[in-house]
Amino acid sequence: MAYHSGYGAHGSKHRARAAPDPPPLFDDTSGGYSSQPGGYPAPGADVAFNVNHLLGDPMANVAMAYGSSIASHGKDMVHKELHRFVSVNKLKYFFAVDTAYVAKKLGLLVFPYTHQNWEVQYSRDMPLPPRQDLNAPDLYIPTMAFITYVLLAGMALGIQKRFSPEVLGLCASTALVWVVMEVLALLLGVYLATVRSDLSTFHLLAYSGYKYVGMILSVLTGLLFGSDGYYVALAWTSSSLMYFIVRSLRTAALGPDTMGGPAPRQRLQLYLTLGAAAFQPLIIYWLTFHLVR
């Protein structure tokens, strides 16, 4: 028995030393990595290997250079097409404002009845920027007023327990679409009336966007004082905006033509100005009445 147990022990040790290792399931591909204990690659070794491999590959360098040239060419094309349809320099003119101009312009929009000189000032046949001329139209106030109106609409809907992203998006898109339609209608009216003036699409967009100031005041007053306060503010801001639009458009676009043009054209130009002004209270009411209850 002792002999058998000893033989079994020695035999098992011999078999353990002589048994071949099982074949690997996968090929060893870790030759390019610096190994750590346990057979795992060092942290970042695979990234460094791939980067060095890409940088050393001529085809990869050619592809990267070609991609950069395509991106640069595409950027130039975008800038070229943008300059074709939108003059960046003209757009910068409408945002050349400062704090003093914004404060005075807001006061003029709320109470324009005491303003005397409505003519746009020029220097070397170029109109002065808004920060130097109170009568010059700008796009800064309409843009900020539109954003404020959307935020105020969201607050009003939240107070009324009717807020949802879909409703707020509908309010914003409706307000934007109405202004675009108004500008298109004015452009068509100016074309049909054959008005020769320096008014551009940006000018009309600025004058149409000033209504957002009256909309904000009307909604704020309605939230603070109820429907009665809303209608009072609506009447005041609408009348002020109508007066402002008539004086501004008549001076900017219709002044010279009214003095020297034929009588039918004079009447058509006057009707265009009055129609643009009369349209403002309707849009203000349509975009704000559902926010005050």
pLDDT digits (tens, 9 = 90+) for 64-114: 565 566 556 555 655 554 455 566 778 889 999 999 999 999 999 999 999
| CB-based contact 244:236 (threshold 8 Å) | no
> What's the pLDDT score for residue 256?
47
| CB-based contact 129:93 (threshold 8 Å) | yes
Instruction: Inform me whether the pLDDT recorded for 145 exceeds 80.
Output: yes
Domain annotation covers residue 105:
no
pLDDT digits (tens, 9 = 90+) for 22-42: 555 445 554 444 444 544 455
pTM recorded for the entire structure: 0.70
Domain annotation covers residue 155:
yes
Domain annotation covers residue 173:
yes
Domain annotation covers residue 174:
yes
Q: Residue for token digits 């939108």?
A: 86
Cα–Cα distance for residue pair 226/55, rounded to 1 Å: 69
Domain annotation covers residue 186:
yes
Domain annotation covers residue 168:
yes
Domain annotation covers residue 9:
no
Q: Look up the domain containing 243 and give its range.
A: 138-289
> What's the pLDDT score for residue 129?
93
Domain annotation covers residue 126:
no
Q: Which of 77-86, 259-268, 278-287 has the lowest mean pLDDT?
A: 77-86
* Structural domain total, the chain: 1
Helices (H), 86-210: 88-93, 99-110, 140-159, 165-192, 201-209
Cα–Cα distance for residue pair 222/289, rounded to 1 Å: 9
Residues 6+ apart with CB under 8 A from 61: 55
Q: How far is CA 8 from the centre of its chain?
A: 86
pLDDT digits (tens, 9 = 90+) for 175-201: 999 999 999 998 888 787 776 667 888
Residues 6+ apart with CB under 8 A from 21: none
| CB-based contact 245:276 (threshold 8 Å) | yes
Confidence band (pLDDT; 50, 70, 90) for 271?
A: confident
